[in-house]
Structure 1
Amino acid sequence: MSIKYKLLLGLGFLLCMILLVGIIAIYDVSKMMRNTQRIIQDNYESLNYCNQMLQSVNDYPIDSVQVSLFQQTLEKEKHNCTEPGEAQAVKTVDSLFQFILAHPNQPSFYSQIRLAINRVYEINQLAISRKYHFAQQEARQIKFWFISIFLLMLLLSIGFIFWFTHTINKPFIQLQQAIRKIANKDYNVNLSMHRKDEFGKLAFDILYMASRLKEYENSNLAQIKTEKKRIEVLIQNFPDPLMVIDENQYIVFANDEALRVLNLEKSIIGSKLEKLIPENDILRDIFNHNISSCSVENSVLNICVDQKESYFEVKRIKVKGKFTEDDDESHMGEIIILKDITAYKKLDLAKTNFIATISHQLKTPVTSMLLSLKLMQEDREHLLNEDQMTLVRGMQDDCQSMLNILAEILKFTQLESGKIDVTLQRHSPPEILKYALHAVKLQADQKHIDIDVQLPDQLPDIMCDGEKTAWVLINLISNAIRYSREGSRIEIALQEKNQELIWKITDQGPGIAKQYLEKIFQHYFRVPQLQQEGTGLGLAISREFIEAQGGKIWAESELGVGSTFYFSLKIA
């Protein structure tokens, strides 16, 4: 029998029981109403007639009006005798009334008729009491039957609920377990349901689906293995060292080139990455001492391969995607590629050495030219006229500008070659500031710029490289002077905060757009709107110097108002 017919049968039975209870209730309520109506119509009217007759014979002697009323009432009572003995009592009342009519002045007849009327009254009162008790008994019986039927209905409903729940729940659990096994790719499902209802049909369909899925998986397993082998061959023949890591930090693939460069064995495939990092310096450098750190996307490693110094650019490609269409996009792993850039590195090193050599070679004749121009100015025997002095000053400015550019290029080549040394010592900030202000005094005086220095009463010493810190300070103040209008003001302030000393240089120049505030610290970058001389290396070198000392450098600016440059160094 199908579940549909089982439901119809159970609900139909409950509906029949409800109809039965309704019919019984209607019948009993109708019966009680009939009994109540009989009490009101018969006995109540008799009591009313007795009261009217008593009022008629209450006065002595009786007059003609009362006689007429008594006769009418007595006649009605004769036709309303419904109780045993009531007719005989009414007959007695009628006889006594006839005596009163014959002897109206006889007082004894009046007392006797009143007693007879009271007898009729008493018979009806007893009848009312008897019928009331009978109605109560019937009400108790109806209550008993109602409770019995209600309990029976309750038991049947509970039984039906338990039966239906068992009928539905048990196959549901079996089907749910089977579906979970299939979802976990376990297609050996056993559904022992010998039923002919919908659950039996559904179980048959699930078994059929499991068998087809099993066939599909077996048929695709060879194809999957083939594709996996193809991917392994592609990775193996990739020209650069390549390693694939899954989302749980397990090594999935690594070609022979990666194993050779990283000095690893083939057996590491399938191993947890965190177990290999402590034993391998190259992996530790790649992952920055922290597996979960993915902030470094590209970096350069210096690795000794086959007893030769080689350079590799590390590329960490984070892979995101979905395992199934219903899943959310999540981290699926990471691809590590080591690109051999040894040849490019050698060319870059040769370029750096060439620039350093040329810069150094140019510095000597430019210095000689400056010295010669100074001697010409100081020659007392051959005084120069005003036009000649203007030319000489122009040549001095050009030579000085050339020396500054050459100095910046030499500093930059030192940074690129990695030969820059930082010596951290205890220094007094006011002394460094005094040296820097002396170096830029002439430049500030030429533009009539006032430099306002704001120093706290007491300043702690700082740990820094004094020469390089002074160079950074001179570069920042020189830039502020260069880009400030004539007769303006530059503010320099120092502030102690969080065990650091913050240097602040504020100018009243044209300002820098927000999109360039980070780029100005890059090599060779120059703000497009500012048409001033320079190499674009000064701020880049300043950042390298400050960060090499463990500090930070940054800038804030507002167009049309000016710029403020900050750098911080640790307190000694």
Structure 2
Amino acid sequence: MNLRSKILIGFGATLLLVVVVWVWAIYNLQQLGIASDAILRENYRSILAAENMIDTIERQDSASLLFLLGYHAEGLEQFRRNEAEFLQWLARAKDNITVEGEAAILEEIETEYLAFLTAFSQLRDRESAGGEEAAQTYYLEAVLPLFETVRDRSIALRELNQGAMVAASQRTQQIAGRAVWSTVGVGVIAVLLGLAFSFRLSRILVGPLHEMAAAADRIAEGDYDVELVVDSQDELADLAQRIMTMSYKLKTFHRLNVGQMIAEKRRSEAIIRSITDGVVVVDAEMKIVAVNPGAAHILRFGAHEAIGKHFFDVVENQHLYECMRMALTDERAPQLSDQEALLTLEEDEHVHYYHFDITPVKTESGRMLGVVLLLQDITKLKKLDQLKSEFVATASHELRTPLTGMAMSIGLLDESTQGKLTERESELLQAAQEDVARLRALVNDLLDLSKIESGRMEMEPEAITVDLLVTKALRPFHEQATQQNVALTAQIPDGLPSVQVDPTKIAWVLTNLIANALRYTDAGGEIRITADQAGERVAIAVTDTGAGIPLEYQSKIFDKFVQVKDKRAVGGSGLGLAISREIVNAHGGTIWVDSAPGEGSVFTFTVPAATDRPAEQSTGD
């Protein structure tokens, strides 16, 4: 017998027991319904008729008294109306004779009531013939006794049916009690039988499944020598046989691949060891699983001793640890600036610089396995950059004096030759003035950049409102924006905290961004300066509707001497955005651009918000 048949038989037996209980309960409910219907059919209607006959005969007696008091019309009308109602209820009672003795009482009521009607007619005659006193005497002697007789027999009819109703109710309760106990008994028997079937079925099904689960656990732990015995010819036996077959194949596969896995592991370790840069691999719990000699030398720990230990227990560098943890938490490489991705270490009184990259490692399903830390020694590049900066600073400083002399000489020559030069000579002199001015601006930018990179540019931070910064930065451009037909606006929200910055340097950043926006925005366009709070920082953005920045330039737009190739990019040194980035970085902020060709650009930078310091307010100068 297969497993499906066993399950169907077990559940079929249980369902049959439920049907038996259901049929028995319906039968008992029907018996209760029959008993209740009998009460209503046999007694309630007769009781209702008796009650109404009592009410109507009493109202007729009241009508008789009303007639005696002289209200003949009212009394007669009330008497006849209740007479019709009494006869109606009497007829209903005669149609519902169900109790022994009920017919005799109804016959007496009918006889006495007809006599009562006759007496009332004679009462009217006596009142007409003998006057009011004779009518009252006849009422007391004839009408009243008949009224009392009819009323008493009606009460007797009601009590007879009430007694029968009580007896029927008691019988119904007995039936209900028997129904409850019999249903409970049948239900208990059904439950016991159902439990017996269920336990038997569960033993048939669950026993082999437990054995298979235990075998699967052993296989998962690497023990492939499992043996299953199922005493049946159903699907469970087939499943057990397949598990044993799978175990045998896994055992064979394991033997074949263990050697390959060991070889691959050794090959990976050899590759990591051969990399000259430092490499550290950690798992999802930040425990080191692989490290090469380069990383061990850079971070100063033993490669073999570090395996299996927590990263922070081996490398006590808070910034590096936070970046690694961020990569694990966010499941992506952290977005770090060049300065943030720089690791500075001192060794033998020498400073070494390392650029680090952190790369998450995931499975194909997206589950995090760990992260890889790559450390690249950029000490030589850093020193070359320092030498270059020093050379640029020296050269720029040496060029400043002769350029100043050239500018003064050309200026004096221009003044002394007013009206004496030909048009061609004047054009050449004007071109010389522009070239010298451009060279002086380039030299000044190079000197500023050199000072910032070397840390020699002094910062004088103070608390100042963003509104005042933006107002000062916008002031020189209003006339130019009007001439170019470009809308220049600022939207600074109320309640924005002050910022802790060097006002001159940050105003220079804003001025440079606004000048660039004006250069690349056509007539009818718009330039908008906005600000918003971002945690403990304030983000300031310059948005334009200009030409936008090509994608190939966006990643290097803040590098030195980079200019977008455009007919409007004339006269710039290519250092403005580089200097802006260095100034923002010196304030502990970040600058970036969001742009799409033909859709304008948004340059945004962040600066620290001031805390509990009085801010300089705008004076309207």
Normalised TM-score (structure 1): 0.58
Equivalent pair of 1:452/1:489 in contact (CA under 8 Å)? no
| Amino acid paired to 2:548 | I
The alignment of Structure 1 onto Structure 2 pairs a total of residues equal to: 430
Distance 2:290 2:8 in 1: 64
Distance 1:450 1:9 in 2: 83
Aligned to 1:535: 573
Q: How well do the aligned residues superpose, as a CA RMSD in angstroms?
A: 5.3
Aligned to 1:320: 362
Q: What displacement does 1:271 show?
A: 1.0
| Amino acid paired to 1:539 | L
Equivalent pair of 2:489/2:527 in contact (CA under 8 Å)? yes
Q: 2:442 aligns with which of 399, 405, 410?
A: 405
* 2:548 corresponds to 1:512: yes
Distance 2:308 2:546 in 1: 59
Aligned to 2:212: 175
Q: What displacement does 1:371 show?
A: 0.8
Q: 2:396 aligns with which of 359, 376, 380?
A: 359
Further displaced range: 208-217 or 337-346: 208-217
Further displaced range: 512-521 or 219-228: 512-521
Label 1:385 to 1:270 Cα distance change in 2 as closer, same or farther (>3 A): same
Aligned to 2:280: 243
1:110-152 alpha-carbon deviations (Å, 9 max, x no partner): xxxxxxxxxxxxxxxxxxxxxxxxxxxxxxxxxxxxxxxxx99
Distance 2:348 2:416 in 1: 65
| Amino acid paired to 1:173 | H
Label 1:165 to 1:363 Cα distance change in 2 as closer, same or farther (>3 A): same
Label 1:178 to 1:437 Cα distance change in 2 as closer, same or farther (>3 A): closer
Distance 2:253 2:525 in 1: 81
Higher-Rg member (1/2)? 1
Aligned to 2:96: none
> In percent, how many aligned pairs have the same letter?
29
* 2:328 corresponds to 1:270: no
Aligned to 2:132: none
Q: 1:393 aligns with which of 417, 430, 455?
A: 430
Counterpart mapping for 1:166-315 below 5 A? 166-189=203-226, 191=228, 193=230, 199-200=236-237, 202-203=239-240, 206-207=243-244, 209-211=246-248, 213-214=250-251, 216-218=253-255, 220-265=257-302, 266-277=304-315, 279-280=316-317, 283-284=320-321, 287=324, 292=329, 294-296=333-335, 299-305=341-347, 307-315=349-357
Label 1:290 to 1:481 Cα distance change in 2 as closer, same or farther (>3 A): closer
Distance 2:356 2:540 in 1: 36
| Amino acid paired to 1:549 | H
Q: 1:527 aligns to what SS in structure 2? A: coil
Q: 2:429 aligns to what SS in structure 1? A: helix
1:412-455 alpha-carbon deviations (Å, 9 max, x no partner): 333444544433124577887787678779x9599799997879
Aligned to 1:544: 582
Q: 1:529 aligns to what SS in structure 2? A: coil
| Amino acid paired to 2:334 | S
Distance 2:204 2:469 in 1: 91
Further displaced range: 398-407 or 266-275: 266-275
Q: 2:562 aligns to what SS in structure 1? A: coil
Q: 2:443 aligns to what SS in structure 1? A: helix
Q: 1:239 aligns to what SS in structure 2? A: coil
Q: Gaps (5+ residues) in structure 2?
A: 17-187, 616-621
Distance 2:468 2:201 in 1: 94
Further displaced range: 237-246 or 219-228: 219-228
Counterpart mapping for 1:31-46 below 5 A? none
Aligned to 2:385: 348
Label 1:449 to 1:505 Cα distance change in 2 as closer, same or farther (>3 A): farther
Q: Higher RCO, 1 or 2 (CA under 8 Å, sep at least 6)? A: 2
Q: 1:532 aligns to what SS in structure 2? A: coil
Equivalent pair of 2:273/2:293 in contact (CA under 8 Å)? yes
Equivalent pair of 1:493/1:505 in contact (CA under 8 Å)? yes
Q: 1:531 aligns to what SS in structure 2? A: coil
Q: What displacement does 1:303 show?
A: 2.4
Aligned to 1:114: none
| Amino acid paired to 1:354 | F
Q: Gaps (5+ residues) in structure 1?
A: 18-150, 323-327
Q: What displacement does 1:559 show?
A: 8.4
* 2:412 corresponds to 1:375: yes
| Amino acid paired to 1:344 | L
Q: What displacement does 1:174 show?
A: 2.1
Q: What displacement does 1:7 show?
A: 5.8
Distance 1:196 1:455 in 2: 82
Distance 1:418 1:437 in 2: 28
Normalised TM-score (structure 2): 0.54
Equivalent pair of 1:10/1:160 in contact (CA under 8 Å)? no
Distance 1:535 1:364 in 2: 19
Q: What displacement does 1:384 show?
A: 4.0
1:353-384 alpha-carbon deviations (Å, 9 max, x no partner): 2233222222222111111122223449x864
Q: What displacement does 1:161 show?
A: 6.7
